[in-house]
Amino acid sequence: MKKTYRGSCHCGEVRFEADVDLTENPIRRCNCSFCLKSGYKKALIGYDELRITAGEARLQNYHAENSNWPEGDIDHYRCPDCGMQPFSRGYLEAQMGGNFWAVNVACFDDVTEEELAAAPVIYEDGKRDRQDREPKITSYL
């Protein structure tokens, strides 16, 4: 069952709400350079399932064209004050039906340790542009 989680960046300047079922929507841990270097732990949700409630005008955007995707792009958003990256907006027509959010579950303020521990995890081999496959080694993710 979907639950509305409230989240924020570290300093609280950017706040959002996201509708996610963590028991059905796995946490994705990826070894691509962006996710690995930022420690991003994401859940993919529909575009209408995230609402920015504060700080939208302050967000900084890093737009990444990914030529290895069948089509699409991604915008990574970060708070200019604390540097946290609470969510990214992606576009993949075939896989996600257009725009979607990759929300950083580490930025949920009201998620319990038990909910995070019970959530299934999918490992993605983004380093080799194979997000549909688990990398050979996952223990570092």
User: CB neighbours of 77 closer than 8 A, spacing ≥ 6?
Assistant: 14, 59, 60, 61, 62, 85, 86, 87, 88, 89
Please tell me the predicted confidence (pLDDT) of residue 130: 84
Is residue 140 in some structural domain? no
pTM: 0.89
Please tell me the predicted confidence (pLDDT) of residue 66: 56
Identity (one letter) of the amino acid at 9?
A: C
Q: Are 135 and 125 in contact (CB under 8 A)?
A: yes
Average pLDDT of adjacent 10-residue blocks, the chain of 141 residues: 97 98 93 89 95 97 64 84 95 84 97 96 90 89 90
CB atoms within 10 A of CB 60: 11
Tell me the residue range of the domain where 71 lies: 3-128
CATH code assigned at 91: 2.170.150.70
Looking at the structure of the chain, the number of domains it has is 1
